[in-house]
Amino acid sequence: MTTDTTDSQWTAVLEDATAIAEEYQENGWDAVVLEPDAVSPVDGEERTGFDVAVSPDEYEFLERLIESSEVTVTTADVYYRPPENDTDPRIALAVERDDDTETAVFIPLKYDLDDSRAVFETALRAEELLLHVTTATPADDGWVSFSHDDPSLFLEESDVREWSQ
């Protein structure tokens, strides 16, 4: 269930991502802001974490950026927005960076906490949360993954205490 507050927070995250990316670009960085069609928890043999579905054009651009250049993401920032209430989706912005090549990928995320619980419990134990950017096109089976060694940055402190026990 989304509320007007959730929608306004999501819009604010997208606007913030664009504004921060523009600052990076003004400083000479290559910066791309993804606009996810969907963010879904995935917990399978092939991969675990979140699938972040973007348009085919965005995915192809990201894939070319990562695979055809010398980009190696080694740093990430996570900006988490606390929900207005416990039933609202969680909203975060992950900024994946390669400081050497001055490349940044901005990944806005909106996810349901109850649906994501198993993914977060696994991630907290493993100390790694993976974001898999993929295309929404069912025929495409590729993805570009980003790793976060502190999954707690995507949660409330109370969730971390409860789930990591």
pLDDT digits (tens, 9 = 90+) for 26-52: 999 999 999 999 999 998 888 899 999
Q: What percent of the chain has pLDDT over 70?
A: 90
pLDDT bracket for residue 14 (50, 70, 90): very high
Identify the band that residue 1 occupies on the pLDDT scale cut at 50, 70 and 90.
Answer: very low
Which residue did the predictor score with more confidence, 3 or 87? 87
**CA 123 from centre of chain:** 14
Higher-confidence position of 15 and 160: 15
- Bridge partner residues of 89 (DSSP): none
Of residues 157 and 15, more confidence is placed in 15
Neighbours of 63 (CB within 10 A): 16
Looking at the DSSP bridge assignments, the partners of residue 31 are 104
pLDDT of 140 strictly over 80: no
Using the predicted structure, report yes or no on whether residue 165 has a pLDDT greater than 70. no
**Residues 6 or more apart in contact with residue 93 via CB below 8 angstroms:** 13, 16, 17, 78, 79, 106, 107, 108, 109
As a whole number, mean pLDDT of residues 110-133 equals 93
Residues 6+ apart with CB under 8 A from 158: none
Calpha distance 49→7 (Å, rounded): 24
The Cα–Cα gap between 163 and 165 comes to 6
Residue at 130: amino acid letter: L
**Strand ranges for 20-157 from DSSP E:** 30-33, 38-43, 48-54, 75-81, 90-98, 103-111, 129-135, 144-148
Q: Which two tokens stand for residue 42?
A: 């995935």
